[in-house]
Chains A and B, each alone.
Chain A
């Protein structure tokens, strides 16, 4: 702080005071003009962070009124249709904080809506990172950190919506109990320990509460910290564009533009969430009533982010085997295994792709999805697979709303998740390659200008105009790969891994489209003139 002015201002005195005790100027100097590239899809991470702040603030408010206890009480609040009923303290306090605390319902709805947005934004953010290859070196580690955050977010959501101890959450826990019990060898014991004896018991709500407000949030906050620090170290990716290279970052400096935009965006996200919370009901717990193992509601579904697991259970075949007097519940284990495999593949995908390409360079340019057709097709097939499981979780509502037979809906979804996934893979790959061809076409022969000209011979043609240097750059600039050949290693051997890698690179890059070269462009100009 070199305040040489005649009379230091209050700000400069305060800054000096702080810096002499914290050396904060070092951090400001290092980060203050750090550059962030500008693209709408780069804001998704911020949406996640800001909805998480909204969750923390509203959640803290809720803890002041919520009683995480399953002690039975008689309801004596203001909601008429529950008057005098016996229920857990958790459910009663949820109703009370909704109906007898000013702003309590608002905070509860804000908390729940923010949670839904939080995880939805995580999903979209992950898709952006996946489809642009932003997980490539040096960001593989951060992909894994983000992936763990995604799992933690789902765990937070599940523990959270189980807390009110209403009919819906209780039936959700009943399903979890059934799934846990289906695990061979340990299932019975895990269920016994989890619920403190028989289901539902008196312990599950306080136990989930501790996970929900202490353990899981602590992990989420810690990992968000790691995620952001790594993001700063690696710097953000950017899309190819004029002046944007693999060796620079082009965009807005933190001070002031990026900070202003990010700060304002926080208030916008928060404001939109509050607006939703004040106008749209979410989980009307009072309609569901206190948990009771006998009743159930039509349309019993989990929150959207657990839907894929519920859908997998619905699509599962009705199989069980009894081997040596032991029961294997394939109708539970199979969907769990499929989900587990799906999740693990998502987590390790960056390492798989890195091994296949063998590309050890750092990549800071976000790829356009079309320029890596195989990856894009894998991603699209994954999205389809997930989406079908998700749709299956609402098979009953699909049936009633489109006047269909719920059995047939289930069969159709079973076909769509098996055959459909393959079709989506193939179709996406063809579309991506088609788009690449179109890019080549535009570069070599110009874009269709919309101007129709009549030639002297009476023939009409549409004039094709060449792109200028700046707007054509993003069509030209992308990495190109080709299948590797099987070659012996240093010891002169060809290992099975070498064969596998060669086969996988063929699968990935066989029908690639190469970027246009200067020579090709020259040649095409000669063709035309």
Chain B
């Protein structure tokens, strides 16, 4: 049942239709086996070591038109002084920066730079003023998190994140056309950096608010959700009662009505 990975942002009808077709085709057998493949690793092109100077150059070539030659900010883009390497890694490696077009918020897409290029820019930004560092490996490795840790991560997620991102990480609406994206199959580093730096309208959750161990627990919880697709069957986009209501009207009652039309028809 790989629906979690595929649904993304789509109209609930579309996903429901797709799911029904999938049900008929696969006979639901795959659901029994249903394991979700792991997220593809972020492109890790460490083929060459780039210096801080290279980072500065990349920045001036690609980012300075909005953020200024020395990252001091312009009317088109905020100042990046003090945002830290973590912020650069998140924005660049999720493809949000450079922005594809001006809109209510920067959208996720294919990253435009390699990890090495991004790191070099981040290192250069970090030289301008101190800011949040890229997270250490130990906070991203969730293999040692206990069951209680995952439970604690779930509770922290509900208190601090679910109001925007939905309890199942399906995302949700913000004001004036902005939205909180879904959190399916997000790289651990990017979850961590988002909490640490508060990209765009997301609030910052610094280490005094949510400690690094707790951030790791939240990541572990999200990964648990990724690895354990909906137990009851197809999840209808995890959108809650709205998609359930649409489903029962269109496919439940619709199907039953189709049957009534058939069974009250006159056989020839």
In the complex, are there CB atoms of A and B closer than 8 Å? yes
Q: Which residues of A contact B (CB under 8 A)?
A: 38-44, 47, 80-85, 98-99, 105, 109, 113, 116-117, 120-121, 124, 167-168, 261, 264-265, 268-269, 272-273, 276, 278-284, 286-289, 292, 294-305, 307, 393-394, 396-397, 399-408
The closest CB in chain A to the CB of B156 belongs to A295
Please determine whether A167 and B167 come into contact, CB atoms closer than 8 angstroms: yes
State in angstroms the CA–CA spacing of A269 and B177 once bound together. 42
Does B264 belong to the interface (CB within 8 Å)?
A: yes
B66 contacts which chain A residues (CB < 8 A)? none
Q: 6 smallest A-B Cβ distances: which pairs?
A: A298-B172, A304-B245, A281-B232, A396-B173, A405-B177, A43-B260
Q: Which residue of the partner chain, among A98, A264, A268, A298, contacts B166 with CB atoms under 8 Å?
A: A298
Q: Is the CB of A400 within 8 A of B150?
A: no
A117–B170 Cα distance when bound, in Å, is 25
Contacts of A294 on B, CB cut-off 8 Å? 159
Q: Is the CB of A298 within 8 A of B253?
A: no
Q: Is B162's beta carbon under 8 Å from chain A?
A: yes
> Which residues of chain B come closer than 8 Å to A401, judged between CB atoms?
9-12
Residues on the B chain within 8 Å of A394, using CB: 242
**B165 CB within 8 Å of chain A:** yes
Residues from chain A with Cβ under 8 Å of B171 in the complex: 298, 400
Query: Given A296-B162, A298-B171, are A85 and B155 neighbors across the interface (CB < 8 Å)?
Result: yes
Residues of A within 8 A of B176 (CB): 405-407
Task: List B residues 218-257 near A (Cβ within 8 Å).
Answer: 221, 224-225, 230-236, 238-242, 244-249, 251-253, 255-257
Q: Which residue of A lies closest to B229 (CB)?
A: A281
Taking A40-B263, A41-B260 as known contacts, 12 extra A-B pairs with beta carbons closer than 8 A to each other, sorted by chain A number, are: A39-B264, A81-B153, A81-B225, A272-B256, A278-B28, A292-B159, A295-B158, A301-B241, A301-B242, A307-B242, A399-B179, A405-B175
Using Cβ atoms and an 8 Å threshold, which residues of chain A touch B238? Answer: 284, 287
> Would A40 and B260 be within 8 Å (CB), given that A81-B151, A407-B175 are in contact?
yes
Could you tell me the distance between the alpha carbons of A367 and B7 in the complex, rounded to whole angstroms? 44
**Is B239's CB under 8 angstroms from A397's CB?**
yes
Size range of the interface on B? 35 or more
Contact A279 B23, beta carbon cutoff 8 Å: yes
User: Closest chain A residue to B234 by CB distance?
Assistant: A280
| Distance between B259 CB and nearest chain A CB, rounded to angstroms | 6
| Beta-carbon nearest neighbor of B251 in chain A | A276
Within the assembled complex, what's the spacing in Å between the Cα atoms of A116 and B243? 12
**A473 vs B55: C-alpha distance when bound (angstroms):** 84
Q: Is B129 an interface residue, CB under 8 A from the partner?
A: no
Can you list 20 residue pairs at the A/B interface with Cβ under 8 Å?
A: A38-B264, A85-B155, A272-B255, A279-B31, A281-B236, A283-B240, A284-B231, A287-B225, A295-B158, A297-B166, A299-B166, A301-B241, A302-B241, A304-B249, A394-B242, A396-B172, A397-B173, A405-B177, A406-B173, A407-B176
Query: What's the Cα separation between A81 and B222 when bound, in Å?
Result: 10
B180 nearest CB across to chain A (Å)? 7
Main secondary structure of the interface of A (DSSP, over half): helix
Q: With both chains docked as a complex, state the minimum distance between the C-beta of A399 and any C-beta of chain B, in angstroms.
A: 5
CB of B264 within 8 A of CB of A40, answer: yes
A111 to chain B, nearest CB (A): 12
Give the chain A neighbours of B257 by CB distance below 8 A: 40, 44, 124
Tell me the bound Cα distance from A380 to B10 in angstroms: 29
CB distance from B97 to the nearest CB of A (A): 20
When C-beta atoms are compared, the residue in chain A nearest to B244 turns out to be A282
Q: Is the CB of B167 within 8 A of A287?
A: yes
Measured in the bound complex, the distance between the Cα atoms of B234 and A305 in whole Å is 22
**Would you call B158 and A167 a contact (CB within 8 A)?**
yes
Residue interface bits B133-163, CB-to-A below 8 A is 1, else 0 = 0000000000000011011011100110011
| Smallest beta-carbon distance B116→chain A, Å | 34
Closest CB of chain A to B245's CB: distance in Å?
A: 3
Bound Cα distance A307, B243 (Å): 12
B164 contacts A by Cβ under 8 Å: yes
A289 to B153, CA, bound (A): 12
User: Which of these, A80, A84, A304, contacts B241 with CB under 8 Å?
Assistant: A304
Q: How far is the CB of A484 from chain B (nearest CB, A)?
A: 39
Write the chain B residue with the least CB distance to A37: B264
Which residues from chain B contact A85 at a C-beta distance below 8 Å? Answer: 151, 155
Q: Which of B9, B171, B174, B177 gathers the greatest number of chain A CB atoms within 10 Å?
A: B177
Q: Among the listed B9, B148, B225, B264, which residue makes an inter-chain contact with A400, where contact means beta carbons less than 8 Å apart?
A: B9
Q: Which residues of A contact B245 (CB under 8 A)?
A: 116, 303-305, 307
Indicate if B37 sits at the interface (CB-CB under 8 A).
no
A43 surroundings in chain B (CB, below 8 A): 260, 263-264
A168 and B240 contact, CB distance less than 8 A? yes
With CB as the reference atom, state the residue of chain A lying closest to B224: A81
The closest CB in chain A to the CB of B11 belongs to: A401
List the B residue with the shortest CB-CB distance to A105. B232
Which residues of chain B come closer than 8 Å to A300, judged between CB atoms?
Answer: 240
B180: which A residues are within 8 A, CB to CB?
298
Cβ contacts under 8 Å, B12 to chain A? 397, 401
Residues of B within 8 A of A264 (CB): 263
Most A CB within 10 A of own CB, among B163, B240, B259, B264: B240
Q: Which residue of B lies closest to A390 (CB)?
A: B245
Q: Bound complex: CA of A279 vs CA of B239, how far in Å?
A: 17
Tell me, in angstroms, the Cα distance from A239 to B165 when the chains sit together: 51
Instruction: Please measure, in the bound complex, the distance between the C-alpha atom of A41 and the C-alpha atom of B176, giving whole angstroms.
Output: 43
- Taking CB atoms, residues of chain A closer than 8 Å to B246 are 304
Decide if B63 is an interface residue (CB 8 Å cutoff): no
Q: What is the bound-complex CA distance between A21 and B220, given in angstroms?
A: 69
Q: Is the CB of A295 within 8 A of B172?
A: no
Q: Within the complex, what minimum Cβ distance (angstroms) separates B125 from chain A?
A: 31
Q: Establish whether residues B252 and A279, one from each chain, have CB atoms under 8 Å apart when the complex forms.
A: no
Given contacts A396-B173, A401-B11, contact A80 B150 (CB under 8 A): yes
Q: Which of B197-221 contact A (CB under 8 A)?
A: 221
> A81 touching B247 by the CB < 8 A rule?
no
The answer to whether A298 touches B165 (Cβ under 8 A) is: yes
CB pair B248 A299 closer than 8 Å: no
